[in-house]
Structure 1
């Protein structure tokens, strides 16, 4: 099972000091956090994609390529690449280059995004969000898998005789996760192609996440990729830790209360009771994270949000030390207990390459028709 962190790259004023980092400071801090994640023994670092203030990661592959040059082992991913407003040709090119630069330490998480104004900024209509998702992804798959692509769709100009350059590393496309908080059509898309489904359930109760993952697993099996238990599932989460839980709550409360996303809403106590947010000791983080398996089954990737809401870099690095030293080793051991042998590990470039060389069908291939039929 893979453990890692993801960032949304927000530039937020620290409510305890009044300091607002510059965009340059926030970007440099993100790089430092990624390096620390590898040092702490985590498996994945992922960045979001945003094109509006107060966020800075508008060019994820640029950021990840820079991080790739300063790391050796950690998988570099996105916690959303906007399949709706990005051109699939450019996505294919950028991630192929990143694959080569990182030695294959690259996968991708696709999503629609949650900021309506982004659509017209990139010449699209938010009312086409689902059709754009389906059509763009169908083209992206072909670009990574076919030498010469002739393609015609409804929402993008056609292609005649197009060849992607560079081709994917070892002719193995990056593994694709489809991310969603609330959209069943995205779970259907992931299931149709046999890709991974990432339920970013940081704002939703367990019952909602359970229903989304159950839908994906059921449809994954329907399309012939394996049993429901063999579907590839990832989860999001949020944590803040101190060795003493009272200290964690006291320190994190002003950040929670003033956060641009969930501040000035439910109390910290109500939010932690109803969502995956855990504020407390490492033992409490372990206990709550292990409970995720109770409602989604055995899964492959767990990512935590840790650097948001104005938390200073020093504090985030301390959090990563606790995560790497006291939390993840226990989670690795406990999640392995009782895990059925036929439940696959999270796909990596190496595992997909082995499958290709042995003439197996990796779980990331599946159906290659252009359009699923959302249900």
Structure 2
């Protein structure tokens, strides 16, 4: 079971001081957060991709390449790479390069993106979001697995005798998660390829995401990749921790109430009841996170959002200390307890390489 954090990279005013960080400060803070994640023993750091204010992570591979040079163990991922508005050729090349720089500590989460204006900025039509996601990923999948590609589709110029460079490290492409909050077609796509499915269930009730995860598991088995229980599932979550719940609620309330995404809507209490958001003590975070397995089955990756809504860097680093020292060690032990033997771990470069070599050896016999 992998535990980590993800960021959307928002530049938001701190409602308690009225101060908005500069883009420079926010980018530097994101690096500090990633380094802290490794320091406290988390497994994964993931960044979103946005091309509009008030967000900074328009170049995830640049950010992750810098973090790769300053870390040794942390898996570097995205949360989301826009498969609809990025050229799959450029994705293939950029993330293979990052994979080499990070010695394999790379995977990525593909998604359509939900910011309408981004599509025309990159010459696309949001009404074609699903067909773009399907076609572009089919090409990306091929580019990483075939040395010479001939290809023709609807949304980009044809390729003839094309080789994406560099080739994936050790001939093993980065593992792909397909992220979705509402599209059964994306769950189907993940299942078809035997990839992972990431349900970023941070804003909606769990019942909505249970349907997507159940569909993915069923179709994963249908395509012959394993049993439904062996499908590769990741989940999102949000936390704000203090030693006791009263302090956590009191401190986080102004950030929640003024957050650009969910501020001025349901109350903090309503939101924590209906979604994965947990505001409280380490034990409360542990207790609620453990209920995710009841809803979604045994899964492989849990990412938490901890740095949004204008929270100052000092506060975010304190959150990571509590996660690393008091929450994640308990979650590791509890999620391992009674975990069926047939449920796989989250893929890593080493495990994918070992599986490839084992398959090659078996075929040679």
- Following the alignment from structure 1 to structure 2, what is the Cα–Cα distance between the partners of residues 299 and 349? 19
- Following the alignment from structure 1 to structure 2, what is the Cα–Cα distance between the partners of residues 154 and 94? 23
Q: How much has 1:51 moved relative to structure 2? A: 0.3
- Following the alignment from structure 1 to structure 2, what is the Cα–Cα distance between the partners of residues 211 and 153? 31
Q: Does 1:111 align with 2:111?
A: yes
Normalising by the residue count of structure 1, what TM-score does the alignment of the two structures yield? 0.96
Q: Does 1:187 align with 2:219?
A: no
Q: How much has 1:360 moved relative to structure 2? A: 6.2
Residue of structure 2 in register with 1:370 after alignment: none
SS in 1 for 2:215: helix
Deviations 1:85-124 (A, max 9, x none): 0000000000000000000000010000110000000000
- Following the alignment from structure 2 to structure 1, what is the Cα–Cα distance between the partners of residues 179 and 34? 21
Deviations 1:270-305 (A, max 9, x none): 000000000000000000000000010000000000
Residue of structure 1 in register with 2:211 after alignment: 211
Q: Does 1:171 align with 2:171?
A: yes
- Following the alignment from structure 1 to structure 2, what is the Cα–Cα distance between the partners of residues 84 and 360? 34
Deviations 1:313-339 (A, max 9, x none): 000000000000000000000001110
Residue of structure 2 in register with 1:292 after alignment: 292
Deviations 1:26-47 (A, max 9, x none): 0000000000000010000000
- Following the alignment from structure 2 to structure 1, what is the Cα–Cα distance between the partners of residues 300 and 2? 6
Q: How much has 1:156 moved relative to structure 2? A: 1.1
SS in 2 for 1:177: strand
Residue of structure 2 in register with 1:366 after alignment: none
- Following the alignment from structure 1 to structure 2, what is the Cα–Cα distance between the partners of residues 183 and 287? 29
Residue of structure 2 in register with 1:76 after alignment: 76
Structure 1: stretches of 5+ with no match in the other structure: 362-375
Deviations 1:234-256 (A, max 9, x none): 00000000001000000000000
- Following the alignment from structure 2 to structure 1, what is the Cα–Cα distance between the partners of residues 165 and 63? 21
SS in 2 for 1:41: coil
SS in 2 for 1:359: helix
Deviations 1:150-206 (A, max 9, x none): 000011110001001100000100000000011111000000110000000001111
Residue of structure 1 in register with 2:140 after alignment: 140
Normalising by the residue count of structure 2, what TM-score does the alignment of the two structures yield? 0.98
- Following the alignment from structure 1 to structure 2, what is the Cα–Cα distance between the partners of residues 161 and 236? 40
Residue of structure 1 in register with 2:274 after alignment: 274
Aligned length: 361
